[in-house]
Amino acid sequence: MTLSFFIASFVSLFALINPLSALPVFISLTENHDAKWRNYQIRKTCMYIIVICACSYLAGSHILGFFGISINALKIAGGIIISRSGFLLLNAKHKRDIKGKIKQEALEKDDISFSPLAMPLLAGPGSISLLINMWIEYPELDKKVSIMLAIVGVAFSIFVIFSIAPKILKYTGDAGLKSLSKIMGFLVLAIGIEMISASVLNLLKTIS
């Protein structure tokens, strides 16, 4: 049961973060640097991903309580954000918000690990919403441990994927990456719709 839950958590979070669709942006931001600098940025990015996701998971519900935001409101808002991400993935438009002045600023920075790589390119509102929802939905200790391990697993996957980014892009090409992104987009869209439908049903039950 714990293994299957870990796999489900890993797949959900990996699909939302979707490092594969971020590969072209990562390569364009690092192509003029040497391998040592690039590997250093990858390591720091993965550490930031773990910190951002872990903090969102562990502290998110307390932040909601402080602002008086209900669980159902979070689920609906998070579901909309996640559904939008899934829709953009299906149309191969996700991870394109790093452009213009933001991209130019990133090209001039000595450190791009936190911004724009970790945020907003990888760990964005969708993954944060999912993790807060998971904290609320699964209070069991074994499941919480599984989710934390899934966060670490996704970060390790990002490390591996970004480390061999040129080889992946050379092997799959842009068309292959778009196809993989569309598959993940379908999963992400389903996650978002599930969150919205579950929260709407809960609201209807409270009214009736």
pLDDT digits (tens, 9 = 90+) for 87-135: 888 776 655 555 555 555 555 667 888 988 898 789 888 898 899 889 9
Please give the model's pTM, rounded to 2 decimal places.
0.85
The predicted structure's pLDDT at residue 11: 92
Mean pLDDT over all residues of the chain?
A: 84
Q: Specify the higher pLDDT residue, 175 or 117.
A: 117
Provide CB contacts within 8 A for 107, sequence distance 6+: 29, 32
Radius of gyration of the chain (CA): 17
What long-range pairs does 26-30 form, CB within 8 A, spacing at least 24?
26/117, 26/121, 26/162, 26/165, 27/165, 27/166, 27/169, 28/103, 29/98, 29/103, 29/106, 29/107, 29/112, 29/116, 29/117, 30/112
